[in-house]
Structure 1
Amino acid sequence: MTRSTHTVDQENMTATRTVAAPAARVFAVLADPTTHAAIDGTGWVREPVDRAPLTEVGQVFRMDMYNANHPDGDYQMANKVHVLDPPRAIGWLPGQEKGDGHLEFGGWLWRYDLAPLGPSETEVRLTYDWSAVPRSIREYIQFPPFGPEHLANSLRHLAELAATSPAPTPHG
């Protein structure tokens, strides 16, 4: 039986789901930018510009995005890995590259916490936190930009991908 819950606070929302896959496999799916569009499921996340697996804190991976409410429609996010603890936690700070190549982050973050429930089940908690978003950004972007069902849907997509993906190869 798959269990799923979600909560919304003033400055963050979380969703939790039991996934029928080992934690290492779930982590491998999350650390692969080529799976992020399928995990997201909204059509906002399009293609990875940087396709290398996420392997270290500070690593930046860019994603092509689309949102009808964005001034440009098509845009790019530069995400900086801020948590990487295989196979227990992974998270990133979404940002954008400015004209001079400098990265600027908006103050929101995505984080996945994984807890093995046995050899073939993992509890996954997804957190979207916007507590550090400055007032200047909140004046033109509403937070959260989606409802709690988005996180539950993302975890459902993650569960489907993890159940059908091959086992990760061990790193030496």
Structure 2
Amino acid sequence: MSAYLVSESAVIAADPQRLFDIVADPAMHPKIDGSGSVQAARSGGPQRLSLGAKFGMDMKIGAPYKIENTVVEFEDGRRIAWRHFNGHIWRYTFEPVEGGTKVIEQWDATKVWNKVLLKLAGFPKRNRAGIQGTLKRLAEVSGNDAR
């Protein structure tokens, strides 16, 4: 695996569609974000994401900023991913398994042009911790446990 592809997974005792629907709702992103950087969904965006949908988020890493995302992968109940302006992709996959759903979250910066700056800023390592926190919070928000 590349240092620019960070992937973590958890099995959550919930239906894949239930978990997908939480992630596909931008208003839920601040509630499930384990990094502490996602502050709020920006007004005017879709209530539910779909392929090609654009949605903005209020963010904060040190200082507040705004970011727009575009959904680049979408298979209802199974996979969703959005891309940031710089090419970062946040991807979630949902796989039914015994006892619930295996959720895989990935931060994919393999096609980003400024990889060295990302690494110097500690993003691969920082994102791993954030992803682990997000999977835990996704389980909590869904009313279930992650393992």
Fold match, TM over 0.5?
Answer: yes
In 2, the alpha carbon distance for the partners of 1:133 and 1:107 equals: 5
Are residue 158 (structure 1) and residue 126 (structure 2) matched?
no
- Matching residue within 46, 53, 58 for 1:59: 53
Q: Name the Cα RMSD after superposition.
A: 2.1
Pair 117,139 (structure 1): closer, same or farther in 2 beyond 3 Å: closer
In 2, the alpha carbon distance for the partners of 1:131 and 1:42 equals: 20
Aligned to 1:83: 73
Aligned to 1:132: 111
TM-score by structure 1 length?
0.74
- Matching residue within 21, 25, 28 for 2:18: 25
Aligned to 1:148: 128
8 Å contact 1:54–1:81 — kept in the other structure? no
Are residue 123 (structure 1) and residue 102 (structure 2) matched?
yes
Report how far residue 56 of structure 1 moved.
2.1
8 Å contact 2:4–2:108 — kept in the other structure? yes
State the AA in 2 paired with 1:80: T
In 1, the alpha carbon distance for the partners of 2:70 and 2:125 equals: 20
Report how far residue 39 of structure 1 moved.
1.2
Which structure is higher in RCO with an 8 Å CA cutoff and minimum separation 6?
2
TM-score by structure 2 length?
0.85
State the AA in 2 paired with 1:130: A
> Alignment length, in residue pairs?
141
Report how far residue 145 of structure 1 moved.
6.3
Report how far residue 162 of structure 1 moved.
1.6
Deviation track 1:61-82 (CA, whole Å, cap 9, x = no partner) reads 00011111xxxx1110101001
Report how far residue 138 of structure 1 moved.
4.0
Report % sequence identity. 28
In 2, the alpha carbon distance for the partners of 1:145 and 1:107 equals: 18
